[in-house]
Amino acid sequence: MEQDTIAAISTPLGEGAIAIVRLSGDEALAIANHVFSNKDLTQVDSHTIQYGTLVDPKTDEKVEEVMASVMKAPKTFTREDIVEINCHGGMVSVNRVLQLVLRYGARLAEPGEFTKRAFLNGRIDLSQAEAVMDLIRSKTDRAMSLALKQMDGRLSQLIRDLRQQLIETVAHVEVNIDYPEYDDVEEMTNELLKERARNVKSEVHTLLRTAKQGKILREGIGTAIIGKPNVGKSSLMNILAHDDKAIVTEVPGTTRDVIEEYVNVRGVPLRLIDTAGIRETEDIVEKIGVERSRQALQDADLILLVLNGNEPLTEEDRALFEAAKDLDSIAIVNKTDLDQQINMDEVREVAQGSPVITTSLIEEQGIDELEQAIADTFFDGEVDQGDLTYVSNVRHIQLLEQANEALDDALESLEMGMPLDLVQIDITRTWELLGEIIGEDVSESLIDQLFSQFCLGK
């Protein structure tokens, strides 16, 4: 298949000491060579790096000193010829390089078009392509390894196995219907079909169960630090965010820009909610009080409820426990370096089984225990990180839910004693839905829609 040659900046703009302009397509080598002096890039060995100068052939103007990586098809990401031009990082110079190759025959890539080509050329399947997108967006190490695992094709393999089971079942039913006289094939009975459908359903169910954790890994556990004024919320926040890996993102477009802060606690990504409020000056925090804490609760997966151990439990504290009662929470009795005025039995009673940790944030005591409690809350002690195939993509989750429903329909029909050729419609539907996850049987428009979500240059 003839493909025009696309080009884009494939490193983040404005970051890093080098920037890469990537070209992919039949003319990638010829175009790069046209603007490259010193060497004939069309003649060099594949997968080598060449030092040279970019020169505009029309004006003889020297544009940039660069390193060009030459990678010939098919052993490349897109399975097309690829040239990556490494140049100095500034916006201006990298743009000049891009403009130069666009002037001499390349076309600016659409967002995600490199990955789309990798998919269309059979280099990766759709779930792997989406993992590339997640990888670009993933904010923490753990989310990164999740995306890598998916890219590895684990999910794809599992889905393929399930589809195989379904298609064999369908084929079996068809043989029974079309060749009733054919005795060699075991008859597909209502019972047998039910068993097969249940098997697949239980696997789909497991995948859906992991989806919530997958989402959390990717987006972080929405964590709200709540408590009365002066109990130590800011101090806790600062200790958790102490790690250099904390990433701050601003989400514009709300009444006031919400600041989300990502911190890594033992590999568990926490997305600290509404930290802007907590980070404000103390005067403002005084005013924020319980009302603000209540708002933060609405967004949260995890509550860190801070108490002052230096004073007895108050009605305000109890109100906060009440507000948090349906959520995962950890109570933190702070200021243990001071006189203990709080009654721990009372605290445990209002905590209703949630972990209670004692800390002195000022002396950095109890932090390990707190971090352990956070990790335990999330992983429940039973999830084996290494083996699970997580589903973290919204589109995959929707498809799995639909597949789950189709299987329910099939099982219901079987219960009612419907003829197998009717049940088979639901089984086939399940097979199609699972196929969409790995990009088999998807319409062109869906593909376009998916790939347009990618960052430019990927």
Q: Which residues are annotated as a binding site for Mg(2+)?
A: 234, 255
DSSP notation for 96-165: HHHHHHHHTT-EEPPTTHHHHHHHHTTSS-HHHHHHHHHHHH--SHHHHHHHHHHHTTHHHHHHHHHHHH
For the chain, report the end-to-end CA distance as a whole number of angstroms. Answer: 21
Q: Which does 32 bind (CB under 5 to 8 A by kind): ligand GDP, Zn ion, none?
A: none
Asked if 304 touches ligand GDP (CB under 6 A), the answer is: no
273-281: long-range pairs with CB below 8 Å, 24+: 273/222, 273/223, 273/224, 273/299, 273/300, 274/224, 274/299, 275/225, 275/237, 275/241, 278/225, 278/233, 278/234, 278/237, 279/234, 279/237
Q: Which does 229 bind (CB under 5 to 8 A by kind): ligand GDP, Zn ion, none?
A: ligand GDP
DSSP notation for 150-177: HHTTHHHHHHHHHHHHHHHHHHHHHHHH
Asked if 115 touches Zn ion (CB under 5 A), the answer is: no
Residue 215 or residue 228: which is nearer to ligand GDP going by CB? Answer: 228
Asked if 335 touches ligand GDP (CB under 6 A), the answer is: yes
Asked if 234 touches Zn ion (CB under 5 A), the answer is: yes
Residues 234-273 that bind ligand GDP (CB under 6 A): 234-235
Asked if 337 touches ligand GDP (CB under 6 A), the answer is: yes
Asked if 285 touches Zn ion (CB under 5 A), the answer is: yes
- By CB under 6 A, how many residues form the interface with ligand GDP? 17
Annotated binding-site members for GTP: 230-235, 249-255, 274-277
- Stretches 24-32, 151-159, 230-238, 311-319: which one binds Zn ion (CB under 5 A)? 230-238
Q: Do 374 and 345 form a contact (C-beta atoms < 8 A)?
A: no
Nearest-approach distance from CB 285 to ligand GDP, in angstroms: 5
The whole-angstrom distance between residue 107's C-alpha and the CA centroid of its chain comes to 30
Residues 201-240 that bind ligand GDP (CB under 6 A): 227, 229-235
Nearest-approach distance from CB 282 to Zn ion, in angstroms: 6
Residue 248 or residue 394: which is nearer to Zn ion going by CB? Answer: 248
Six-digit token string for 398: 């929707």
Residues 345-364 that bind ligand GDP (CB under 6 A): 360-362
Residue 368 or residue 415: which is nearer to ligand GDP going by CB? Answer: 368
CA distances from 232 to 305, 307, 373, 377 (A): 10, 8, 18, 22
User: Which residues here bind ligand GDP, judged by CB under 6 A?
Assistant: 227, 229-235, 278, 285, 334-335, 337-338, 360-362
